[in-house]
Structure 1
Amino acid sequence: MRVLVVHNRYRGEQPSGENRVVDRETALLADAGHDVELFERRSDDIATMSPLAKAAVPLRVPWNPAVRVELAARIRAWRPDVVHVHNTFPLLSPSVLAACADERVPAVATLHNYTLVCPPGTLYRDGRVCTDCVGRAPLPSLLHGCYRGSRPATLPVAASVLANRGRWRSQVSRLLCISHAQRELLVRAGLPAGLLTVKHNFVPDVGARRRFPGEHVLYLGRLTEEKGVRLLMAAWDRLARDGGLGVPLVLAGSGPMEVEVAAWARGRSDVRYLGLRDAEECRELAAGAVAVAAPSTWLEAFGLVVVEAMAAGVPAVAAAHGAFPELVDDGVTGLLHRPGDAASLGESLLRITRDGERNRAMGLAARRRYERDFSPAAGLARLVAEYESVLDEARP
C-alpha cells in the first residue's frame, strides 16, 4: 500500500506523545513493506519566520489555501492509495482534507485529542473537566479564552472548529478514535457513529522488563495540573504523614509546574525529581518501578504512559475516567482511583505497594494484556484493516 502521512509536528521543546505515535506508526508501516511518505509542517519553524509571516499564522489556522494546493500536487505526483491525517494545527489546517477530496484519494484521520469539539482539545478548564462546547458552537471557549488563556489566541482555533465541522464529516472516509471513551463522547457530540471507529495506539516492545519488586513509584510525563501532578503531591504528603510507603516517589518530566515540583521535592528522602529524561532513561525508570502513577484530572483520550508500563510488566494506578478504565483492568492489571480524590489515590498506591504477590500478578497480567492489545503486531493489523476497509468502500 502507498500511504501519505500528513502531520503538523508539535514543538520539540516538550516531549509529544502524538509525535511519538506518528513516528512509530510510520516506521511500523515501512518495516512491514508499505510505501510511506510524509507531508509535514513543524511548529518549531514559526520561531524563524519573518514578523509578517508570524502575524499571518493565526489567519491560516482555519484554512490554508497554499497547503491545499501543495498537498494536491504532492498527491498527483505520488498517487497514494490513502492519505492518513494526524495533527493539522497550526500550519496545515483542514484544507488538507479538501486537497484529498480534490484528488479523489480517501482520507483517514486519527483523532489524538478532542479538537473537533473543544478548541484547545483538552475538555478541561479552571481545574475541572469541561464539556461546555461539546455539541454546540464553541462560544464558551472564546468567552473564557480557553486556548493559552487568551481570547485572541482562542479566536482562530474556535473559528476553525466551527467552520470545518462539515468538512470533517464529509471529506474524511474514517475517523480513528484512540479509545472507546473518546468515541462515545464524540458520538454524543453529534459526529456520525458510522464514521468513527476505535484503533488504540500501540507501543514498541523495547525489551525492558521490570526488576521485581521495584525500587520506586514512578510518575512520568508533563508536569501540569491536568495530568494530576498536584493531586499526586497531595496524596503523597498524606501517605508520608502516615509513615510512607517504604519506597520513594520518582517524578520525571518537565512542564509549567516544574519549579513547584522541584521545590516540593527538595530536601526530601521520599521524593526524587529528575527533570526531563531521554527515552532510554525513561525505560530504565519504568523497569525499576513498583507501579506507575497516572492520576490525570482531565479525560485522557488514551494514556501512553500506562501502556508503556504494561509493556514493561509494571502495573498502573490510574484515574477511573477517560480512557483509563479500558486500559487498566481494575484489580487485575492495576488499580483505578476516584478521579480528583487524593485520599483514594493514596489508598490505591498503598494497596499496590504493600501486597507483593498481588503486585507481581498484576504486572504479569499487564504484560499479557499489552501483548494481546497494544503490541506492534496488534497495531499494524488494525491499522491495515482500516485502510483496506476504506479502500473497499471507495471502489465502484
Structure 2
Amino acid sequence: MRVLVVHNRYRSGQPSGEDRVVDREVALLAGAGHVVDRFERRSDDIAAMPLPRRAAVPLLVPWNPAVRTELRDHLLATVPDVVHVHNTFPLLSPSVVAACADAGVPLVATLHNYLQVCPSGTLYRDGAACTACVGGSPVPAVRHGCYRGSRVASVPMALNHAVNRRRWWSGVTTFFCISDAQRRVLLDAGMPGGKLVVKHNVVDEPASRRAGPGEHVLFLGRLTVEKGVRLLMTAWDELAAAGGTGLPLVIAGSGPLEDEVRGWAAGRADVRVAGLQDPAGCADLTARATAVVVPSTWLEAFGLVVVEAMAAGVPIVAAGHGAPAELVVDGVTGLLHEPGHAGSLAAALRAAVADPDRNARMGAAARLRYEEAFTPAAGLDALVAGYRSAISPAPGVPV
C-alpha cells in the first residue's frame, strides 16, 4: 500500500511518546514493503519564525488554509491509498481532514489522547478527572484555563474543539483507539462507535532484558502532577518512615516538577534523580529495575512505559484506572493500586519487591504478555488490517 503519514512533531525538549509511536509505525510499514510518505510539521520550528508569524500560530490552531491547499496538492500528485493522521497541533490543524476529502483519499486517525472530547486532551483538572466540556460547550476550559493554566492560551483549543469536532467525526473513516479504556470513554462521550477500533501501541524488542532481581524501583516519565510524581514522593516517604524497601527509587525524566523533585531527593540515599534520558538510557534503567511504577492520577490513554517494562520482563506497579488497569493483570504481571491513594501505592510497592520469587514470576508473566500482544509483528498486522478496512469498508459500516 501507499500510505501518507500526517503528523505535527512535538518539541524536542519535551520528548513525546507520540513521536516514538509514529516513527516506529513508519519503520514497520517500510520494512514490510509498503511505500510510506510523510507530511509533517515540527513544533521546534516555531521558535525560529519571525515574531509576527509566531504570534499568529494560535490563530491557525483551529484552521490552517495554507496546509489544506498544500496537503490537497500533495495528495493529488502522489495518490496514496490511505492517509494516517496522528497529531495536528499546532501547525497543521484539522484542515488536513478537509484536504483528504478534497482529494478523495480515505483517512484514519490515531487518538493518542482525549482531544476529541476535551480541549486540553487530558480529561483532568485541578488534580481530578474532569468532564465539564464532554458533549457540550468548551467554555469551561477557557474559564478554568485548562491549557497551560492560561485562559488566553485555552481560547484556540476551545475554538478548535467547538468548530471541528463534528468535522473529525464525519471525515475520518476509522479512529484507532490505543486502548479499550480510551475507547469506552470516547464512546460514552458520543463519538461514533462504528468508527472506533482498538489498536494498541507496540514497542520494539529491547536491547536487553532483566537478568536477576533488579536493583532499583523506577519511575520513568514526564515530571508532572498528572503522572503521579507527587503521589509517588508521598508514598516513598511513607515507605521510608516504615524502614524502606531496601532498594533505591530512581526517577528519570524532566518536566515542570523537576526542581521540586530534585529538592525532595537532595541528600537522600534512597532516591536518585537521573534526569532526562535518551532511549538507550531508558532501556538500560528499565532492564535493571525490580519494578517500574506508573502512579498516574489521570486516565492514561495507553502507557508505553508499561509495555516497555513488560518487554524487559519487569513487573509494573500502576494506578488501577485508565489504560494501565487494562494492560497490567493485577497479581500476575504486576500490581494495581488505588488511584490517587499514597498508602495504597506504598503497599503495592512494598509487595512488589518484598518477595523475590513472586517478583520473578510476575516479570516472566509480563514478558509473556508482551510477546502475545505488543510485539512489532502484532502492531503491523493491526495497522494493515485497519488500513484495508478503511480503504474498502465492509457493507453497512458507516464511513
The one-letter amino acid paired with 2:113 is: N
Give the Cα–Cα distance (whole angstroms) in 2 for the partners of residues 223 and 261 of structure 1: 8
Partner residue in 2 for 1:339:
339
Give the Cα–Cα distance (whole angstroms) in 2 for the partners of residues 155 and 260 of structure 1: 30
Partner-residue secondary structure (3-state), 1:83? strand
Shift of residue 395, structure 1, vs aligned partner: 9.9
Partner residue in 2 for 1:18:
18
The one-letter amino acid paired with 2:234 is: A
Partner residue in 1 for 2:160:
160
Which digits, 9 at most, give the CA deviation of each residue in 1:89-115, with x for residues without a partner? 010000000000011100000000001
The one-letter amino acid paired with 1:380 is: L
Q: Is the 8 A contact 2:127 2:225 kept in 1?
A: yes
Give the Cα–Cα distance (whole angstroms) in 1 for the partners of residues 122 and 289 of structure 2: 29
Give the Cα–Cα distance (whole angstroms) in 2 for the partners of residues 260 and 120 of structure 1: 24
Give the Cα–Cα distance (whole angstroms) in 2 for the partners of residues 158 and 254 of structure 1: 27
1:75-86 equivalences under 5 Å are 75-86=75-86
Partner residue in 2 for 1:213:
213
Shift of residue 165, structure 1, vs aligned partner: 1.3
Root-mean-square deviation over aligned CA pairs = 1.1
User: Does 2:126 match 1:126?
Assistant: yes
1:272-287 equivalences under 5 Å are 272-287=272-287
Shift of residue 25, structure 1, vs aligned partner: 0.7
The one-letter amino acid paired with 1:154 is: S
Which digits, 9 at most, give the CA deviation of each residue in 1:50-83, with x for residues without a partner? 1111121111111101000000011011110000
Q: TM-score, normalised by structure 1?
A: 0.99
Give the Cα–Cα distance (whole angstroms) in 1 for the partners of residues 89 and 372 of structure 2: 33
Q: Is the 8 A contact 2:210 2:312 kept in 1?
A: yes
Q: Could you list the runs of 5+ residues in structure 1 that have no partner in the other structure?
A: none
Q: TM-score, normalised by structure 2?
A: 0.98
Partner-residue secondary structure (3-state), 2:393? helix
Give the Cα–Cα distance (whole angstroms) in 1 for the partners of residues 371 and 381 of structure 2: 13
Shift of residue 253, structure 1, vs aligned partner: 0.6
Partner residue in 2 for 1:264:
264
Give the Cα–Cα distance (whole angstroms) in 1 for the partners of residues 99 and 162 of structure 2: 20
Partner residue in 2 for 1:319:
319
Partner residue in 2 for 1:250:
250
Shift of residue 274, structure 1, vs aligned partner: 1.0
Give the Cα–Cα distance (whole angstroms) in 2 for the partners of residues 265 and 140 of structure 1: 37
Partner residue in 2 for 1:71:
71
Q: Is the 8 A contact 1:135 1:188 kept in 2?
A: no
Partner-residue secondary structure (3-state), 1:164? helix
1:370-389 equivalences under 5 Å are 370-389=370-389
Partner residue in 2 for 1:100:
100
Shift of residue 211, structure 1, vs aligned partner: 2.4
Give the Cα–Cα distance (whole angstroms) in 2 for the partners of residues 171 and 144 of structure 1: 30
Q: Is the 8 A contact 1:106 1:394 kept in 2?
A: no
Q: Is the 8 A contact 2:216 2:290 kept in 1?
A: yes
Give the Cα–Cα distance (whole angstroms) in 2 for the partners of residues 146 and 219 of structure 1: 26
Q: Is the 8 A contact 1:117 1:138 kept in 2?
A: no
Q: Is the 8 A contact 1:180 1:198 kept in 2?
A: yes
Q: Is the 8 A contact 2:177 2:198 kept in 1?
A: yes
Give the Cα–Cα distance (whole angstroms) in 1 for the partners of residues 395 and 192 of structure 2: 21
The one-letter amino acid paired with 2:26 is: T
Partner residue in 1 for 2:299:
299
Shift of residue 392, structure 1, vs aligned partner: 1.4
Give the Cα–Cα distance (whole angstroms) in 1 for the partners of residues 155 and 188 of structure 2: 24
Partner residue in 2 for 1:89:
89
Which digits, 9 at most, give the CA deviation of each residue in 1:333-387, with x for residues without a partner? 0000000000000000000100111110100110010011110000000000000
The one-letter amino acid paired with 1:272 is: R
Q: Is the 8 A contact 2:10 2:43 kept in 1?
A: yes
Give the Cα–Cα distance (whole angstroms) in 2 for the partners of residues 137 and 28 of structure 1: 40
User: Does 2:13 match 1:39?
Assistant: no
Partner-residue secondary structure (3-state), 2:235? helix
The one-letter amino acid paired with 2:293 is: A
Q: Is the 8 A contact 1:177 1:183 kept in 2?
A: yes
Give the Cα–Cα distance (whole angstroms) in 1 for the partners of residues 208 and 138 of structure 2: 44
Give the Cα–Cα distance (whole angstroms) in 2 for the partners of residues 135 and 338 of structure 1: 28
Give the Cα–Cα distance (whole angstroms) in 1 for the partners of residues 386 and 334 of structure 2: 30
1:193-204 equivalences under 5 Å are 193-204=193-204
Give the Cα–Cα distance (whole angstroms) in 2 for the partners of residues 252 and 55 of structure 1: 34
Give the Cα–Cα distance (whole angstroms) in 1 for the partners of residues 81 and 278 of structure 2: 36
The one-letter amino acid paired with 1:333 is: T
Q: Could you list the runs of 5+ residues in structure 2 that have no partner in the other structure?
A: none
Shift of residue 130, structure 1, vs aligned partner: 1.0
Q: Is the 8 A contact 2:207 2:283 kept in 1?
A: no
Give the Cα–Cα distance (whole angstroms) in 2 for the partners of residues 395 and 357 of structure 1: 52
Partner-residue secondary structure (3-state), 1:371? helix
Shift of residue 246, structure 1, vs aligned partner: 0.4
Give the Cα–Cα distance (whole angstroms) in 2 for the partners of residues 212 and 180 of structure 1: 33
4+ residue runs of structure 1 moved beyond 2 angstroms? none
Cα 1:183–1:45 shift into 2, 3 Å? same
Give the Cα–Cα distance (whole angstroms) in 2 for the partners of residues 318 and 266 of structure 1: 25
Q: Is the 8 A contact 2:311 2:367 kept in 1?
A: yes
Give the Cα–Cα distance (whole angstroms) in 2 for the partners of residues 149 and 351 of structure 1: 37
Q: Is the 8 A contact 2:9 2:19 kept in 1?
A: yes
The one-letter amino acid paired with 1:3 is: V
Partner-residue secondary structure (3-state), 1:15? coil
User: Does 2:232 match 1:232?
Assistant: yes
Give the Cα–Cα distance (whole angstroms) in 1 for the partners of residues 325 and 263 of structure 2: 33
Shift of residue 116, structure 1, vs aligned partner: 0.9
Partner-residue secondary structure (3-state), 1:36? strand
Which digits, 9 at most, give the CA deviation of each residue in 1:292-319, with x for residues without a partner? 0000001100000000000000000000
Q: Determine what percentage of the aligned residue pairs are the same residue.
A: 66
Give the Cα–Cα distance (whole angstroms) in 2 for the partners of residues 137 and 201 of structure 1: 31
